């Protein structure tokens, strides 16, 4: 049967589908808190990447889930991106994945079983690359196409890396360049060429495998992955958790090729504006900071890079670990400042 483009079925693709940070905060504010067991090492208190539950003195279970609507039109590529993004949260906690469950919502009267099968095959291929099985899952008939994973992993309880444990004086290292949301907006408008698509696919399907090795390095204090709230949003989560101001040197932040020009042409997701509305009051930008740079600072990253806070003495080991895993774009992008009762993100310099 004739099938529409996958991206035409979604009102927002990839991590741009996330509920805006301000709205999410309002929703969660009224949720009741149950008594927490002492084995729960990480819960919802710091908006971290995954829950972590201590099993014994040597093992803790990392549990997370992530799913979204199509960010690209090729079914296998959509599956690969969604699976890579879901597994990233395990790596961001310092864990190693052990298995996944598939989450599948598809408009079965619109998409063929062959197309849906290719989405699942794409996700399964990423799980094979990560060395884990897709051990089950759940499916529903949905108006919009939705795919993702429940991802489980293991980590030593003493090597769990939360997003909240950065310390004053730490340097910040970003593992992947920014611009996925900008590229996805251009793709949806038919303005992303083959080279741009290849760049987008290469970054969104690169597993954040440095995470467990980084967690073992002395001097690495905190980690998170940059996804739907953009670099500014996830840096602010790190700042709030540490009760410190955080500074980003914008001129040092790596960008995907051509994305600044695309942003200047208006290829920006709606999520970027929602992100800024949610946390812009806690961000200080330099005078004359360009609109396209603010769009990139808040750009929702699907399957984005790890953001690592480490003491300066550990920096070379951190960068060497990234390079060993093939992340040659990893760069120092900022630092953690002193303690603050109202943590802010301070952005320095332009481009």
* Per-domain boundaries in the chain: 6-159, 171-348
Q: What is the pLDDT of residue 45?
A: 84
Distances (CA, A) of 265 to 8, 161, 291: 21, 38, 11
Active site residue 15: yes
Average pLDDT, the chain: 93
Which whole number is the average pLDDT over 221-228?
A: 97
Q: Which of 15, 17, 127, 244 is catalytic?
A: 15
Q: What is the pLDDT of residue 83?
A: 98
Q: Which CATH number fits domain 171-348: 3.40.50.300, 3.30.1380.10, 1.10.10.10, 3.90.650.10?
A: 3.90.650.10
- Percent of the chain at pLDDT exceeding 70: 93
Convert the pLDDT of each residue in 333-350 to its tens digit: 999 999 999 999 999 987
pLDDT-derived band of residue 7, with 50, 70 and 90 as boundaries?
confident
Q: Which CATH class is domain 6-159?
A: alpha beta
Convert the pLDDT of each residue in 29-73 to its tens digit: 666 566 789 999 999 888 888 999 999 999 999 999 999 999 999
Q: What is the pLDDT of residue 8?
A: 78
Q: Does residue 181 carry a pLDDT above 60?
A: yes
Q: What is the pLDDT of residue 286?
A: 94
Task: Judge contact between 100 and 150, C-beta under 8 A.
Answer: yes
Convert the pLDDT of each residue in 101-111 to its tens digit: 999 999 999 99
Q: Does residue 213 carry a pLDDT above 70?
A: yes
Strands 96-106 and 40-42, bridge-based pairing: unpaired
To which H or E segment does residue 108 belong? none
Structure tokens at 283: 């961000």
Helices 270-279 & 230-242 angle (0-180, nearest 10):
30
Q: Give the C-alpha separation, 285 to 347, whole Å.
A: 5
Convert the pLDDT of each residue in 128-180 to its tens digit: 999 999 999 999 999 999 999 999 999 999 999 999 999 999 999 999 999 99
Residues 6 or more apart from 303 whose CB is under 8 A from it?
14, 15, 81, 84, 85, 88, 180, 203, 204, 205, 206, 227
């Amino acid at each position: 049967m004739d099938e529409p483009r996958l991206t035409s079925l979604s009102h927002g693709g990839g991590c741009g589908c996330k509920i805006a940070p301000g709205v999410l905060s309002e929703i969660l504010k009224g949720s009741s808190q149950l008594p927490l067991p002492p084995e729960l090492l990480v819960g919802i208190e710091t908006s971290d990447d995954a829950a972590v539950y201590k099993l014994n003195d040597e093992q803790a279970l990392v549990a997370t889930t992530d799913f979204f609507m199509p960010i690209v039109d090729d079914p296998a590529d959509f599956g690969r991106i969604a699976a890579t993004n879901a597994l990233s949260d395990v790596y961001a906690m310092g864990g190693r994945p052990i298995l996944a469950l598939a989450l599948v919502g598809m408009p079965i009267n619109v998409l063929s079983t062959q197309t849906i099968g290719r989405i699942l095959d794409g996700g399964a291929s990423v799980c094979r690359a990560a060395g884990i099985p897709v051990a089950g899952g759940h499916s529903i008939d949905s108006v919009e196409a939705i795919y993702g994973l429940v991802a489980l992993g293991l980590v030593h309880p003493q090597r769990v890396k939360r997003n909240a444990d950065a310390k004053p004086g730490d340097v910040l290292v970003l593992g992947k360049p920014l611009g996925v949301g900008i590229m996805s907006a251009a793709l949806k408008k038919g303005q992303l060429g083959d080279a741009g698509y290849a760049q987008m696919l290469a970054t969104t399907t690169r597993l954040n495998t440095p995470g467990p090795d980084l967690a073992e390095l002395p001097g690495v204090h905190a980690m998170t992955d940059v996804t739907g709230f953009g670099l500014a949003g996830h840096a602010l989560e790190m700042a709030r958790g540490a009760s410190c101001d955080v500074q980003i040197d914008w001129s040092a932040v790596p960008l995907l090729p051509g994305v600044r020009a695309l942003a200047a042409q208006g290829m920006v997701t709606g999520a970027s504006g929602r992100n800024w509305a949610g946390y812009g009051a806690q961000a200080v930008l330099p005078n004359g900071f360009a609109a396209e740079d603010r769009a990139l600072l808040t750009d929702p990253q699907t399957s984005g890079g790890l953001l690592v806070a480490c003491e300066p003495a550990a920096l070379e080991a951190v960068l060497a670990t990234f390079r060993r895993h093939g992340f040659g774009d990893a760069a120092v992008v900022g630092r953690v400042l002193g303690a603050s009762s109202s943590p802010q993100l301070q952005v320095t310099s332009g481009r």
